[in-house]
């Protein structure tokens, strides 16, 4: 029998579950970390800005990526880290709303720097912060596939009206 529970021992006097924990953590009694504990280990608070900067996997736009669920029961998902932060600290995100950054730092996951907004508010917020230039301004701007804007300077050797 396992030294820690009633199950049959399979190796080192441990059952399958306890043996696996010993194998992974070097400690048969260590509990699997909760989602929140894993999350906490994946960011580094920045003292000057107060941002919690994501130290795990990041998307090209700078957003962090957080793994949730498990392969075993088919709940494995990858979630944007700032959305996971909202979920873990504030609760579920209504389907019609987006989690936006008040600090304008995509990799930040500090819930105090996040707010819920509609897709429209998010765009207005980005325009206000000058991250996106309206396409109608001179010189004409074209949107790149990565969401940034590029002036159509090549075409505009026409005098500025
Ligand atoms: Zn056991
Ligand atoms: Zn921040």
Do residues 28 and 38 share a domain? Answer: no
Query: Would you say residue 119 has pLDDT above 70?
Result: yes
Report residue 34's pLDDT band, with 50, 70 and 90 as the boundaries: confident
Residues 21, 29 contacting (CB under 8 angstroms) = yes
Q: Is residue 136 part of a domain?
A: no
CA dihedral 18, 22, 28, 33 (to 10 degrees): -90
**Residue 69 or 65, more confident:** 65
Ligand 1 centre distance from Cα of residue 32 (Å):
14
User: Looking at the 3D structure of the chain, how many domains does it have?
Assistant: 2
Distance 49 CA to ligand 2 centre (A): 7
Structural domain including 57 reads 34-130
49 and 86 co-located in one domain: yes
What pLDDT, on the 0 to 100 scale, is given for residue 121? 75
Mean pLDDT of the chain: 84
Specify the pTM. 0.64
Verify that 28 and 105 share a domain, yes or no: no
State the distance from the centre of ligand 2 to the C-alpha of 114, rounded, in angstroms: 8
- Answer left, alpha or beta for residue 35, where phi above 0 means left and psi between -120 and 50 means alpha: alpha
Is the pLDDT reported for residue 142 higher than 90? no
- Same domain flag for 7 and 62: no
Instruction: Tell whether 48 is covered by a domain.
Output: yes
Kindly state whether residues 91 and 118 are assigned to the same domain. Answer: yes
Supply the pLDDT for residue 137: 37
Residue 155 pLDDT grade (very low, low, confident, very high; cuts 50, 70, 90): very low
Could you tell me if 22 and 80 lie in one domain? no
Beta strand residue intervals within 75-152, DSSP E: 77-80, 98-101, 114-117, 141-143, 149-151
Confirm whether 68 is domain-assigned: yes
Q: Which long-range contacts (CB under 8 A, 24 or more apart) does 127-135 make?
A: 129/104, 131/104
SS3 105: coil
For residues 96 and 117, give the distance between their C-alpha atoms in angstroms, rounded to a whole number: 9
Ligand with the closest atom to the CA of 48: 2
Residues 25, 68: one domain? no
């Amino acid at each position: 029998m396992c030294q820690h529970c009633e199950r049959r021992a399979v190796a080192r006097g441990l059952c399958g579950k306890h043996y696996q924990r010993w194998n992974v953590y070097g400690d048969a009694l260590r509990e699997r970390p909760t989602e929140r504990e894993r999350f906490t280990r994946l960011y580094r608070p920045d003292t000057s800005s107060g941002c919690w900067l994501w130290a795990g996997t990041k998307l090209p736009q700078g957003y962090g990526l957080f793994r949730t669920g498990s392969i075993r029961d088919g709940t494995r998902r990858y979630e944007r880290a700032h959305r996971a932060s909202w979920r873990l600290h504030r609760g579920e995100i209504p389907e019609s709303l987006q989690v936006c950054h008040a600090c304008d730092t995509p990799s930040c996951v500090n819930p105090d720097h996040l707010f819920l907004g509609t897709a429209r508010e998010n765009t207005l917020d980005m325009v206000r912060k000058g991250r996106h230039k309206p396409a109608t301004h001179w010189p004409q701007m074209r949107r790149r596939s990565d969401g940034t804007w590029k002036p159509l300077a090549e075409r505009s050797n026409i005098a500025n009206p």
